[in-house]
Structures are given as C-alpha cells and as structure tokens.
Amino acid sequence: MDIRHRLYPYPVLSDTTDDYVDSSYSMDLEVTKGIRELCFKISLKLENKQIQQMIYEGLAEYVIHIECSYTAYRTVIKTDQTNIEKSIPEHKLNGTVAVCAFIVAKTSLPAYYNSCFNEDYDGMSFHLHRGNIIAIGGQVNIKVTKEVEELSKIPSIFTICRNAEDIDDSMKIEITGEKIVIVLCNKSFGNYKMLTGMPQMLPVLHSMLIVPTLIYTFEKLKSEGTSEYEDLRWYKSIERTLKKHNLTLDSELLENTPSFELAQKSLDLPIDRALYALAVQDTVDEEE
C-alpha cells in the first residue's frame, strides 16, 4: 500500500500534520539478503508518553505493513516491540516493496485524549474504534531485483500479448512499464501461443520477436536518453546482463555500439541458437 495524505476526523500523529506537539513517530529500515530470503530489520521510535503507555497497556499496537504490488504479496506485523525482524522468501518479492509503519487502536477508545494535542484540540476527546490509526510512521520503498533473472532465459522482462482491438496490424512495442510489452495481432498471437508449446522453437521465437524489440529499445534509449527508464525492472535486468560482458549501459555505449550488437549480447547470441535450432529441427524432419 502507499500512504496517501488524507484528512482524519481526529488528531493523528504524523510528520505531515501538526495535530500533535513535542511528539514524533518514525521508522528506520535495514534490508539484508540471505540465501533465499530477504531480512527486514525495522526500528521504531515513538516520542509520546501517553501513546507509549497505551501500547504497554494493550490498548494500542505497532503495525508494520509490507506489500509488493508486482507479486501481490502482503503481510501485516502487529507487535508491542520497537525492534522487529521479518524474513520473507525472495521469490515472493520483486520490483518495488513498500514498508509502512502505523500505530492503531487495539480496542475501542470512547474518549481518547492526549496532552500533546495541538492547542486547536484543547479540551477535546475523540471516540476511536478498534483499528483506527493513531500514528503514521512513514513509508519506505525498496527495490528488489532478482539476480536469477537472466535475459537469456526469457521472458522474465517481456510480456507478449494480443492486440485488444483485434485488428490485423504490425507488432507494437511499449517500454514505459516494468516489463517490455510486445503486442501482436490476433492471428500472430495465435501462432505464437502454438509455437510456445514447442521448446525447440523458443530460440527462433526469441530471434523473431525479442531481438527486434531490443533493437527498438536501444534505439529509443539512444535518442531519448536513459533517465526516464533507469528505475524500471527491464532496464535494470538489461544493465546487469551487459555488465557480464564488461559493458556499461550509458550514453557512450549506446552511441558507439550498434543496437543489433547490444541486442545479441543481451540475449547471449540468440541468432546462433536460432539457426542451430532450425538446423536440428530440419535434421529431425529428414530422419522422420
């Protein structure tokens, strides 16, 4: 989830409001990588004695919300501790992971009052229901990029789909999302789906669809620059793959290296593999 600024019918402790004075609530996050998991170390700091006492008495609790929109993974940690560790299997996370910190009412509070309320609330109390947010400790977004995603294994950063308008048109390419999208007309998409069931034909498909798509992508980067795309998942994956060839994806590389060469290196020489696949297939046909 993303914390969005909203108005509450009662005071909320947050660094975006002045509902409280001499008070604060914040989160520090450290993420480390294990063998097959990511470890989230969260440290919470609360400066408000009355809310601290409410947590001690079980009337309120710290809540940590961790969500990955790309994989639809979501977990909620409820605790009275200020130092929290949570390990999450790496396969459950990819792309942007949002970590949000709250303090919520653990039970109904019919007359909630805090001596640190802003003077605008002087003498006022509020009825809070179970689950109502008392404090917001902010949000931290981290980027998770899986090292196991190799371009040569396709299609980890590509999506091939049918044209929604169902028209007989040429292949279209869209590179503004986390994945590079290849849009095919209805007939071509049907043939593509049929061929994906033939593993020996995958190198040929890659050469026919992915290579020209990457050539187009490198040409766009050359003409428009890389800044708009550097945070996208497909860009980071290509960047990582080229590094294995001791190449740095920057304006100098794009300007001095033909795009078709970069496409082939990104895909680990797909033309050779495609020709080999066809040659082997031809030999099999003759034997049959």
Give the 3-state secondary structure of residue 184. strand
SS3 278: helix
Q: Which of the pair, 160 or 145, is modelled with greater confidence?
A: 160
Give the pLDDT score at 204: 74
Domain assignment present for 16: no
73 and 184 assigned to the same domain: no
The answer to whether residues 25 and 133 touch, using CB atoms and an 8 Å cutoff, is: no
Q: Is residue 2 part of a domain?
A: no
The pTM of the full predicted model, rounded to 2 decimals, is 0.56
Whole-number pLDDT of residue 85? 95
160 and 266, same structural domain? yes
9: in domain: no
Instruction: Between 25 and 275, name the one with better pLDDT.
Output: 25
The domain that holds 123 is classified in CATH as 2.60.40.10
pLDDT band (50, 70, 90) for residue 279:
low
Task: Provide the token pair at 108.
Answer: 């109904």
- Sheet with 37-47, strands from edge to edge, namely 24-33, 37-47, 83-89
Q: Tens of pLDDT along 14-59? A: 998 999 999 999 999 999 987 778 999 999 999 999 999 999 999 9
Residues 193, 74: one domain?
Answer: no
What's the pLDDT at 36?
A: 78
Question: In Å, how far are 7, 22, 110 from 19, measured between CA atoms?
Answer: 11, 10, 19
Q: Which of 114, 144, 174 is the last residue of a domain?
A: 144
Question: Per-residue confidence at 3, pLDDT binned at 50, 70, 90?
Answer: low
Helix or strand run (H / E) with residue 103 = strand 95-105
Q: How far apart are CA 35 and CA 228, in angstroms?
A: 32
What is the rounded CA–CA span in Å between residue 79 and residue 274? 55
Q: Which amino acid is at 11?
A: P
Query: Are 283 and 155 found together in one domain?
Result: yes
Range of the domain at 117: 24-144
> CB under 8 Å to 87, separation ≥6 — which residues?
34, 37, 38, 39, 40
CA–CA gap between residue 222 and residue 209 (Å, rounded): 20
What are the percentages of helix, strand and coil residues in the chain, rounded to 5?
35, 30, 35
Identify whether 69 is part of a domain: yes
Shortest CA distance to 160 belongs to which of 213, 122, 225, 121? 213
Per-residue model confidence (pLDDT) at position 154: 47
Task: Report the number of distinct structural domains present in the chain.
Answer: 2
Residue 97 has pLDDT above 80, yes or no: yes
The H or E element spanning position 143 is: strand 133-144
CB atoms within 10 A of CB 27: 21
Residue pair 71/33 in contact (Cβ under 8 Å)? The answer is no
Inside any domain, residue 7: no
Same domain, 166 and 221: yes
What pLDDT, in 10s, does the model give residues 163-209? 877 666 778 999 999 899 999 888 888 888 887 766 666 667 777 88
**Residue 85 and residue 157 share a domain:** no
